[in-house]
Each structure stands twice: as structure tokens, then as C-alpha cells.
Structure 1
Amino acid sequence: MDIRVTKFNEYKETAEVKAILMFESKEDFHMKFEDEAINNAISYVIENKEFTGKKGELYTVNLLRKEAPSKLILVGAGKGEELTAETIRKSLGKLVKECLRLKATTLEINVPALRKHFDMEIAAKAIGEAVTMATYTFDTYKSDKKPVTLNVVTLLCCSQCDVSILEAAVKEGVALGEGNLITRALVNEPANILTPAELAKGAEKTGEDYGFEVKVYNKEEIISLGMEAYMAVAKGSANEPKLIVMRHMGDSENPEEIFGLVGKGLTFDTGGYCIKPGQSMANMKTDMGGAAAVIGAMSTIAKMKLKKNVVAVVAACENMISGEAYRPGDIIGSMAGKTIEVLNTDAEGRLTLVDAVTYIIRNEKVSRVVDIATLTGAVVTALGSAAIGVVTNDDNFYNSLEEASKEVAEKVWKLPSFDEYKEQIKGEVADLKNIGGPRAGTITAGLFIGEFVESKPWLHLDIAGTCAGEKPPTEYHSSGATGSGARLLYTLVKNQ
């Protein structure tokens, strides 16, 4: 899709759909356009109180003519003093979906009153995000696909605006949107298609398209690295594991400052011998949501050419049942040398993550680490689908995450990491246990990973509640995967 920025007085084309962002303020209702049909339609709708400009309101007018614009859409933005970037994303997402319903090919977005209420650069970025994200739906395997008809969107701004600044903001918004869509597309793929090998190929293809380096390690190489915990989970499947390492080295002036991202890459999880009930297993194709998030984030980081050094690692595998599968009661090793008593084979993600964390610290020499994973059902019980649960060893690092979360409207919530919780994962016959009991499951799972971070500033993000859902969480999402974490990680890295 082509998203353009043009000043009102320089716009020479006419789109099929003319959209106007309007606020509740009465003075904003008296704007005039050269097209009298547009003016008359606005006046009629407002006089009859069919549109008030409230947040989330959308009103479509058929102008009953063949020439463009043939449709007028009024988009409510609420009170100007309460406007946020997320309000703009939601309003524009709703607008784009209406245009898709109308099968429109071109759209112009008029924002005549926006400049006096809000920062135009932030608004342009939010528009780029929303327009990109709202067009997606997962219909790969449907025979009656509905093609996306909308191909040109023009943002019209006032003559005082700097078009080049707004174009740059839209570009970043589109890159963020694309990273989100890459994440959603990967998570939505069924597990019979997206095996560990195919996930690795997806990362390689994304690296080629967006400009970051990808190295994939096979089973023998993983074993030679001493990644015993990761291999314990992986060995039960006929589909071999793949260790995926992605690199964007954008800051040659500070080679020792390397940001590490680790994503959980379980392309399917049966629970192993602690098998999940059928209802719980049906959606386990999403258990690589963390891996997808770091791949999506890397695409945006590389496309925007951030002056940062970033390495991302995914320990991709399946947790299956076979004669080779690990068992409850097994004692296994790890790349870090710590031993682990396996009390539950369905607590497998943390076993793959700890070896990936050790690898990224020792072999890639990262200076700080974020791991992101669909790790526990307990986080869904605690926070539902509204927020990402976070465990950390560094409050300043968490504060940076919280600021980034506000920018992209992906809520985070810090959980405590008291010593009492750490006691729950201390082993009886090994150094550690892979579960800490029935209570505080999200915290103890995070702290288990924390035992392997070697004092590096660290954040653990549990996205089990935010990764996917039957209903779209916002107006710019569709059902299924949300792309949770991709925009958040990019913004965190950018702001560091």
C-alpha cells in the first residue's frame, strides 16, 4: 500500500473516499471545502445530530454520484484535549476497515483540526501504523479470499506542516505496522506448516527482505554448544530443532553495547508426557509468539536502520511425545552448567529459553537481555488479555519498558520478585526445579529464567494473555494473532 503526505493546497488528485477527522468541539464543525456536496452533507448530518464527533464514532455518507469522491466518512476523535496516539490508531483502523468493506481503492484523510490539538508527527506515525495493521486478515487457506482493494492512502495536512517530517513519521509507522504483521502472520500459521525448519526459513526470508543477518544452527551444532535443556525438550519430535540467531549491528562506535532479544520458539507444544487436555492443546500453534515478536521487531529495527547493535535468538523446537521424549523426574543439564529437575514436561518453554539466554550472553556478548514468551497460563489468570506480565532484576530497565509501552499502547505490569518466590524453584536433587508449585506460577517461571542471566539487566515478558484471541483487541487488529511485543521491543530498543 502506498501512503502519501500532501498539503491541502498542493493536492491535485481525488480519492474515491474522503475521510474527515472531526472533534466534538462545535467550532470544528464549521470547516468548509470547495466541494459543496461535501459541505451540504456535513451540515445535514450535524444539524440532525447523526454525528457528534465522539471518540470511536464513524459515519458514512453516500454522495450518490459517480465522480470521486463518491463516499464521505466522518471519523470521530472525541475531545481534542483528550486525544492520544492510540485514539488515532483506533479511529483510523476503523476507517480503513470501512473502506475495505466499501471496496474502495483510494482514500484521502483530511485532518484540518488536528494540528491545534495534537503533535502532527506523532499523529502521522500512528496513522502509518493503523493503516498498515488494519488491512490484515488471516485467509491464507481460504478458497474465497477477499483481496485488499485499498492501495493508495493520502494524508492531507495544512500548509504550515513540514511534509518531509510527516513522511518520515509515516515511514516509521508503516515499518512498525509491517513488523506487527510479520509477527501475526507467523503466529497464525498452523503447526503442520510452520515447523522449526520453516520458522527458520521465515526468519531468513525476513532478514533478506529487511536487511539483517541470520544464522541458523542445526541439531548437531546445538548439541555441540552444550544446550542440554533445549535439546531435552526438542528430542521428542521428528522435526529437528533450529537455533536461529539474528543480528543487526548498527552502532560501530559502541561495539560492546549489544541489546539481546530472546523469543520462545515452540512451534507446537503437546505438554509432553504431562500432556495438555485437548481443549488447551488446540491453540498451541501460538506457542512461538515470542519468537515471532523478535523476528517482527528485528524487521522494523533493520528497516529503520537504528543506530543500535541488536542480536535476537530463538531456540525453535516442538514439545512432543515419543520414545525419545524427556520425562517427569528426569534430571537434565544446561548450557550454563546448572542442573534441572524436571517436575513437569509442560514447563518446557523456560528450558529452551535458559539455554538461549546463556548462548546470547556468552557467545553474542550482549550487555542486556529481554526474553519474551507465551510462558504461563497463570499470567492469563492474573492479568487476562489486557497486559503483559513482567519480571525483572532492574527497575530502571523496567521503567524504560513502561515508557515504550505507553508509546505503542501495549500495557505491561511488573510482578514482584521476592526471595520467597526464588525459594520455590530451588531443587531438591538438582540445582533447580522447572516449576515452583501451583502458586505464583508466572513469577516463579520468570525467576527460573532469571537464574541464568548472569547479572545482566534483564526483562522477562510473558505474553500468554496478549498474543492471540478469538476477538480483535482493537479496531486495527483482526481475530487470531495480535503481534504482541513486536512494536514494543522496537520502541524499547530505539529509546535506550
Structure 2
Amino acid sequence: MKLINKKNKTYSQVFHVFTEEEWVKSGKNFNRNISNFFTGKKHEVFIHTHEEGIAYFIGLGKSTLQDFEIQQVAVKFSQTQKKNLHAVPTLVVADFMNEKQFEELVKGFLNGTYHYPFEKDHAFWNPKFELHFENLSQKKLDYIGQKTEALSSGQTACQEWLNKPANFKKPDTLNSYLKNLAKKYDLKYTVFNRKKCEELGLGAYLAVNQGSAYDAAFTILEYKTSAKNAKTFGLVGKCVLFDTGGISLKNPDNMHYMKSDMGGATAVIGTLIYTAEMQLPVNIIAVLPITDNAISENAFLPSDVITAYNGKTIEVLNTDAEGRMVLADALSYLAKNYKTDFLIDLATLTGSSVRMFGDTCGALFSNNEELKNLLIKTGDKTNQRLWGLPLWDIWKEDILSDVADLKNISMKPIGDCIIAAKFLEQFIEAHPKWAHLDIAGVAFGNVGYAKEKAATGFGVQLLTDLIENYH
């Protein structure tokens, strides 16, 4: 998609974008019959064909709408009108739109082209498609074009890897992709196999991996800027490629959705792509503890006592609480070996967060009020919302063990997402600015491009906006 600041005399395809209020003001300039079918309500689309071509009337709803709502409308328009759109120069008529609002519109057009498996077969990806918008200079349009394509690249990668069937994303497959990604964007790439993990003492991660038919792949990707005094973000993404629950086997109903248990990692991957594409003046250390949680004669067992990377011992009461095990080693490894200004982990971690919030928001835990508020504010801005929950020390009492330092679950049937966060806090090595995002309910769900649940792309816009505007 090319964004161009010019106006031809005629266009065979025009997008007229209106809020309800703008339509009341401007609707009188159009054919009266259009008013019988179009009012400007959110997601409303009216297609008007005439001798010169086709005009699409796109409704945004009330003028009080937030910027992300423009993106929502554009996503749905892109998805539902795919077969009708032509790859031709197209005029956008939206005189009320400012730079940010137009950016959200273009984001939505591009993000709405996604389907699995992804192919650039949408009109918006055709080189002949041009979006003409007079309200902004060519310089600003070029920048918006760069940003929106970079975001689309990151979000598409996030969704694509989360949607892949389990047999299409084995550890070696994903690591081959990450290695190529590192070459493309000049990232430092490090991976530890099982033998190296044993030497390093990554015992909590290895406990989960030991039942796998595939070698360990504890992976680190580093993006470095040349900018002076740049902030460093430490990102950890849970990367369990498929979660059977291990010996504590999950209910088989809907177990096929457990291909989505790497939603934290895919959000981090998408963020790295955007950051590298835009060459943001930040540093990122990303740790992806890649494994599956399988059942075999070597699988770890309930009652096992494991020694984690930081020396703390863990009594395993449930092997389906594997995510906090791999995250524990990833967090402590990152905290002990790198100096970061912020430490953020994302994970599709608990059913508890799903039962609490459904698909409305992720559960947020942080030991730093400033970071917590910043994440909530960014979530509201991007519509990738988070809600803060407590980390009171009283919750730690429920994970103290008789035979180890900690248990990996509480035996009480309450607050497991809080218990998991409290468990992870024991492995951040007293990092002063840490946040844990439990995104189990929002990373994979109902989407417009699929009949069943699929990847939402949650986390990419949240993290990229945070990093881009707070460095």
C-alpha cells in the first residue's frame, strides 16, 4: 500500500469516512438515496456504484470515539470487503481526520488483511493500490506508511506463529525462523541446548523440557541501538509450543487450542520486528524459553523437587503449572546476566485469569506503581487492556513447601493467577521495575478472520506503543 498526497481529477474507487456527526453535516452533499441506507454508525458500510466507479461509505460512529476504534472499523472493513476492493488509486475523503486518526485507519486496513496461512493476496498489498489523502504532507504519509507496515509485519508474525498447528512449529522450526530473523535485523542470537542448560543450572526450565522428544532451545535475542543513554527493556515470553499438561493431563476437550500456549513469546517476537524495522532508540533483551510440555517416560512428575537457576528449590505439585517453571528460569537468567531498566514477562499462564476477565483484558501484576500505571494507560490507548491485581505477601504463604523453598501451585482453589505472579516474583532477583502480564484470555479467541478461535495479536501494539513512547 502506497500513501500519496495528491488528488487526481477522477477516481474509480473512493473511501468516504464519516462519524455520525460528520455525516449529518456533509450528507446533504450526496445523493439523497444514500441517506436512506447510511447514517455513519460504527462499522456501517454502504457501497454506491456509479458510472465513474465505486464509492464506499464507512461509518465510525460517534465523534467521541477513541483512536483505536477507527482501527477496529478499518480492520472489519478490510476483512469483509476484501473481494470487492480493487487495486487502483483510491481517494480517502475524511476531512476531519488528524494524523493519528489516519494512522489508525491505515493500521486497520493492513491488519485486517491477515488470515491463516498468511499470503499478501489482499488488494491492499497489491503494488498498484495507492491510498490518496490530501490532509497530510507526503513526508508525514511516508512515515505513517513505514510505521503501519512495520506494525503489520510484527503483528502478522505474532498471529501466524500462534495459529500454526503443533506439528508445524517444533522447536527446531521456530529456532530456524528466529535465527533467520536475527540475521535479517542484525540481532544477537543465542540458544542453549539441553546440555548447555544443564551446565548453566536452568533446572526449572529443564524439568518441563525433559519429557520432550525435542532438544531444549532456551533462546535469547538482543536488539541494540547506537543511541546514547537508551533504555533497556528485558522481555520474557512464555514459549510452550504445545501444552498437554504433562502427567497432570489436561481435559481433552478443546486441547487443540493449546497450540496457543506461546502467546507471550509471539507478542515479544512481533515487538522485536517492529522495533528493528523502525530502528527505535532502545535496547531489548528478549528471552524465549522454547519447549513443549509433553508426556513421556522422562516427563517430570508431581512431587519432584527441582532446583531453579537462582538456586531456589521448587516442589512440583502439578505439571500443568509448567509455564511458571520456564518463566522462573527465564526471568532469573535475564535479571542476573543483564542490566535492564524494565523487566516485563508475558504469558498465556492461567485459566484463573480467563475466568476472571474473559477476553476483556489481561491480568497485570507489578512491583512498581509507575510501570503499572504506564501499562494500564498504554493498554487503554491501544485497546489491549490490562487490569492490576495485588501482589500482597499473604499470597506467598500458600506456596511455601514442606520439602522445598516453594510449591509451584497452591492447594487452595482460588486466585491462581495471583499465586502464579507471586511465584514468579521470587525469581526476578529484586528487580525494581517488573511487570507480569497474564494474557491467557486475550491472546487467542474470537476473531473476524476465522470461524473458530484464533490468534488476536494481543501484546504487539501494547508493547510497541510502550517502548516507542517511553524510552
Q: Deviations over 1:89-137 (max 9, x none)?
A: 122122222431215223624233324xxxx221232123212210011
Output the CA distance in 2 between the equivalents of 1:332 and 1:358: 15
Question: What SS does the corresponding residue of 1:413 show, helix, strand or coil?
Answer: strand
Please state how far the C-alpha of 1:321 moved relative to its aligned partner. 1.2
Asked if residue 355 in structure 1 is aligned to residue 329 in structure 2, the reply is yes
Contact 2:192 2:217 in 1 (8 A): yes
Matched, 1:266 2:240: yes
Residue equivalent to 1:208: 183
Task: Specify the SS of the correspondent of 2:262.
Answer: helix
- Number of residue equivalences: 464
Deviation per residue, 1:329-387 (Å, 9 max, x gap): 00000101100000000000110001011111112332321000000011000000110
- 1:162 maps to what in 2? 137
How has the CA–CA distance of structure 1 residues 83 and 29 changed in structure 2, closer, same or farther, with 3 Å as cutoff?
Answer: same
The equivalences for 1:70-469 within 5 A come to: 70-80=53-63, 82-102=64-84, 104-106=86-88, 108-115=90-97, 120-139=98-117, 147-150=121-124, 151=126, 152-158=128-134, 161-254=136-229, 257-437=231-411, 438-456=413-431, 457-469=433-445
**Cα pair distance change 1:146/1:197, threshold 3 Å:** closer
Aligned equivalents of 1:466, 1:382: Cα separation in 2: 12
- 8 A Cα contact 1:379 1:464, kept in partner: yes
Structure-1 separation of matches of 2:312 and 2:200: 15
Which SS does the other structure have where 1:79 is aligned?
coil
Shift of 1:56: 1.7
Secondary structure class of the residue paired with 2:399: coil
- The TM-score, its normalising length taken from structure 2, stands at 0.93
Q: Aligned partner of 2:110: which letter?
A: T
| C-alpha distance in structure 1 between counterparts of 2:148 and 2:85, whole Å | 24
Partner deviation per Cα, 1:179-200 (whole Å, 9 max, x = no partner): 1111000000111110112121
Q: 2:37 aligns with which of 42, 50, 53?
A: 50
Counterpart-to-counterpart distance in 2, 1:98 and 1:342: 48
> Which letter does structure 1 place at the counterpart of 2:166?
A
The verdict on how the C-alpha distance between 1:462 and 1:109 changes in structure 2, with shifts beyond 3 A counting, is farther
1:464 CA displacement: 0.6
Sort the Cα spacing of 1:84 and 1:393 in 2 relative to 1 into closer, same or farther, 3 A. same
Whole-Å separation in 2 of the counterparts to 1:375 and 1:492: 22
Counterpart CA distance in 2 for 1:109 and 1:346 is 53
Q: Which amino acid aligns with 2:152?
A: G
Distance 1:103 1:77 in 2: 19
One-letter amino acid matched to 1:462: D
Taking structure 1 as reference, are residues 447 and 12 closer, same or farther at Cα in structure 2, changes over 3 Å only?
farther
Q: State whether residues 192 and 219 of structure 2, in contact with CA within 8 Å, keep that contact through their aligned partners in structure 1.
A: yes
Contact 1:54–1:77 (8 Å) recurs in 2: yes
Gaps of 5+ in 1: 32-38
SS in 1 for 2:253: helix
Equivalent position amino acid for 1:50 in 2: F
Query: d(CA) in 1 for partners of 2:280 and 2:393?
Result: 38
TM-score for the superposition, normalised by structure 1: 0.88
Q: Distance in 2 between matches of 1:422 and 1:51?
A: 57
Rounded Cα–Cα distance in structure 2 between residues aligned with 1:357 and 1:90: 34
Do the aligned residues in 1 keep the contact of 2:238 with 2:347 (CA within 8 Å)? yes
The RMSD of aligned alpha carbons is 2.2
Letter of the 1:22 partner, please give it.
F
Q: Distance in 2 between matches of 1:268 and 1:338?
A: 26
* Cα distance in 1, alignment partners of residues 154 and 452 from structure 2: 15
SS, match of residue 424 in structure 1: helix
Q: Which amino acid in structure 1 is aligned with residue 204 of structure 2? A: A
- Is residue 38 of structure 2 the alignment partner of residue 62 of structure 1? no
Percentage identity across paired residues of the two chains: 32
Assess, with a 3 A threshold, how the Cα gap between structure 1 residues 18 and 339 changes in structure 2: closer, same or farther. same
Runs of at least 4 residues off by over 4 Å: 474-479
Paired with 1:195 and 1:71, the residues of 2 have a C-alpha distance of 46
Per-residue CA deviation, residues 13-55 of structure 1 (Å, 9 max, x unaligned), is: 745x321102223222245xxxxxxx5xx43212xx2111112
Is the aligned partner of 1:19 residue 2:15?
yes
User: Structure 1 residues 453, 216: closer, same or farther in 2, change over 3 A?
Assistant: same
Distance 1:247 1:375, change over 3 A: same
Q: Do 2:238 and 2:326's aligned partners in 1 also have CA atoms closer than 8 Å?
A: yes
Note if contact 1:93-1:476 (Cα within 8 Å) is conserved in structure 2.
no
Looking at structure 2, the residues matched to 237 and 305 of structure 1 have their Cα atoms a distance apart, in angstroms, of: 37
Q: Which moved more, 1:168-177 or 1:179-188?
A: 168-177
Residue 34 of structure 1: aligned partner? none
Deviation at 1:167, TM superposition (A): 2.5
Matched AA of 1:458: W
Q: 1:328 to 1:109 in 2, by over 3 A?
A: farther
- The offset of 1:475, in angstroms, is 8.4
Label 1:175 to 1:188 Cα distance change in 2 as closer, same or farther (>3 A): same
Over 3 Å counting, the alpha-carbon distance change for 1:71 and 1:239 in structure 2 is same
**In structure 1, what residue type is equivalent to 2:229?**
N
Which residue of the partner structure matches residue 28 of structure 1? Answer: 26
Kept after mapping to 2: 8 A contact 1:130/1:177: no
1:475-496 Cα shifts (integer Å, max 9, x gaps): 8999511111111111112222
